[in-house]
Amino acid sequence: MIKKVLIANRGEIASRVIRTCKKLGIKTVAVYSEADQHAPYVKIADESYLLGPPRVNESYLKGDKIISIAKAAKVDAIHPGYGFLSEDYEFVRACEAAGLIFIGPSSEIMKQMASKIEARKTMEQAGVPIIPGTKEAVISSDEAIEVAQKIGYPLMLKASAGGGGIGMQIVHSDKELEQAFSSNTKRAEAFFGDGSMFLEKKLTNARHIEVQVLADEHGNVVHLFERECSIQRRNQKVIEEAPSSFISSDVRRSMGESAVKAAKTLGYTSAGTVEFLVDQHGKHYFLEMNTRIQVEHPITEEITGVDIVEEQINIANNLQLAFTQADLRMEGHAIEARIYAEDPKTFFPSPGHITTFDLPEAGYIRHETTVTSNYQVTPFYDPMISKLIVKGANRKEAISRLSDALSKCKIEGIKTNIPMVIDIVNNQEFKNGNTTTAFVDEHYLPMLAKN
């Protein structure tokens, strides 16, 4: 049984994992960069070790250093959180070779899902619907244009190794595609070391809806229903909610079945998320599988009562899932707002010194925070500084509680996206549930222009 865990991450997710470990009586080890020495997660861990300078390639991406710390600290397992090394199959292999349990799926499955082109093929074979597009990487802009003329514009040009919105672009014409092809190939090579690109038809008025799955080492797979994450800026999520107000119970069942089928076909283990696009008719298409815990996992925990980190640890301990699909119920409605250190109008980052960080408390509010008052937000990492999660009996109550809670957040010294989130949750279209991935472009940006 796992008795001591090293969290190979930083910020709110490190704190989140430590919290469940404490609940289970598991000792925790934090690792940190020079920029994070005063971070809350470092203080609450039983032990903490410096990784190196602030930049990620000198700190949180140094897998060998993390493994040597893990061995010296005599931990049993490594929890990767999200981002950084969480989807790096070579790191998983290195953990396995060092005799450490990696809390997540096997390196083979991770490798398969890391290539979006491979993932599309695997899902199609499993009978999970995929978005019409190319089966193999397109090797030149000429070939891309040829394919594009068959599928029709608008199209999404995507990097096979991409993530976090990097290396993907919507294109409307041959000319745009030609330009985007070369610039995105270069960016994907620089960011991911793999410039392979593929094309998918751009679904209009689509929603981003994902299904959380849990799979143990004994072949049991369940899903924990869906999260709707359509409100995005720069292809990154801002507001997520569970359940989705858009899909019917039939669509929910069918998406849940697709997600379970996907996990079973892969022989997937641990917590994972199958992302889908859902078109205006309620038809769902596989987008990608995330082989780690997601940023927005708390909303699923709020409506199901399942502690997903605890389940990850149980699965890593080779235990059977303690519940079946029939045991799982959704109760109420949860919404998460990601608080970013950024300008609410231009979405440009706003690193700097937080003087005041004062958040409202209530039984229906949950905060997952990276920072405190009197805290320096550095430019080295993701701009997310906090997550505000609220629960209500229904969507209407959750929205009103979120709006109220946001208006009581007092964060001073840096710019945050709170004004943006307030504008969105108070927008009638949002209240009506008209939350497509185009929401920010169609409703938020025009609102700014008018004011």
Partner 1 sequence: MKEVKANMAGNVWKITVSEGDKVDEDQDVVILESMKMEIPIASEYEGSVKELKVAEGDFVNEGDPLLVIDE
In the complex with partner 1, the residue whose CB is nearer, 164 or 446, is 164
User: C-beta of 349: minimal distance to partner 1 in Å?
Assistant: 4
Between 89-97 and 63-72, two packed helices, what is the crossing angle to 10 degrees?
30
Binding mask 378-417 for partner 1 (x = CB under 8 A): xxxxxx----------------------------------
Q: Distance from CA of residue 279 to its chain's centroid?
A: 21
Binding mask 14-53 for partner 1 (x = CB under 8 A): ----------------------------------------
What's the 3-state SS for 100-159? Answer: CEECCCCHHHHHHHHCHHHHHHHHHHHCCCECCECCCCECCHHHHHHHHHHHCCCEEEEE
- Rounded CA-CA distance 322/345 in Å is 46
* Binding span for partner 1 by CB under 8 A among 58-66, 141-149, 261-269, 346-354: 346-354
Catalytic residue among 120, 207, 227, 292: 292
Q: 187 catalytic, yes or no?
A: no
Bridge partners, residue 199, by sequence: 157
317 near partner 1 (CB under 8 A): no
Binding mask 184-223 for partner 1 (x = CB under 8 A): ----------------------------------------
Cβ–Cβ under 8 Å, residues 366 and 425: no
55 near partner 1 (CB under 8 A): yes
Among 154, 349, 360, 433, binds partner 1 (CB under 8 A): 349
351 near partner 1 (CB under 8 A): yes
Binding mask 155-184 for partner 1 (x = CB under 8 A): ---------x--------------------
In the complex with partner 1, the residue whose CB is nearer, 199 or 377, is 377
Name which of 110, 120, 103, 106 is nearest 88 in CA terms: 110
In the complex with partner 1, the residue whose CB is nearer, 56 or 215, is 56
| Site residues (CB under 8 A) for partner 1, limited to 231-260 | 234
Residue with tokens 């959180």, as numbered in its chain: 81
Question: 3-class DSSP state for residue 397?
Answer: helix
Please report which helix (H) or strand (E) contains residue 241, including its range. strand 236-242
Environment class of residue 391 by beta-carbon count within 10 Å: exposed (0-12), middle (13-18) or buried (19+)? Answer: buried
User: C-beta of 405: minimal distance to partner 1 in Å?
Assistant: 24
User: C-beta of 383: minimal distance to partner 1 in Å?
Assistant: 4
Proportion of the chain in helix, strand, coil states, percent, rounded to 5? 35, 25, 35
Q: Is the Cα torsion angle 285, 287, 292, 296 positive or negative in sign?
A: negative
Please report which helix (H) or strand (E) contains residue 227, including its range. strand 221-233
DSSP state of 445: H
* Binding span for partner 1 by CB under 8 A among 28-36, 302-310, 342-350, 416-424: 342-350
Among 348, 363, 428, 451, binds partner 1 (CB under 8 A): 348
Instruction: Output the CA–CA distances (angstroms, integers) from residue 37 to 14, 80, 368, in the order listed.
Output: 13, 19, 19
In the complex with partner 1, the residue whose CB is nearer, 235 or 317, is 235
In the complex with partner 1, the residue whose CB is nearer, 134 or 417, is 417
As annotated, the active-site residues are: 292
Binding site for partner 1 (CB under 8 A): 55, 164, 234, 341-342, 348-351, 378-383
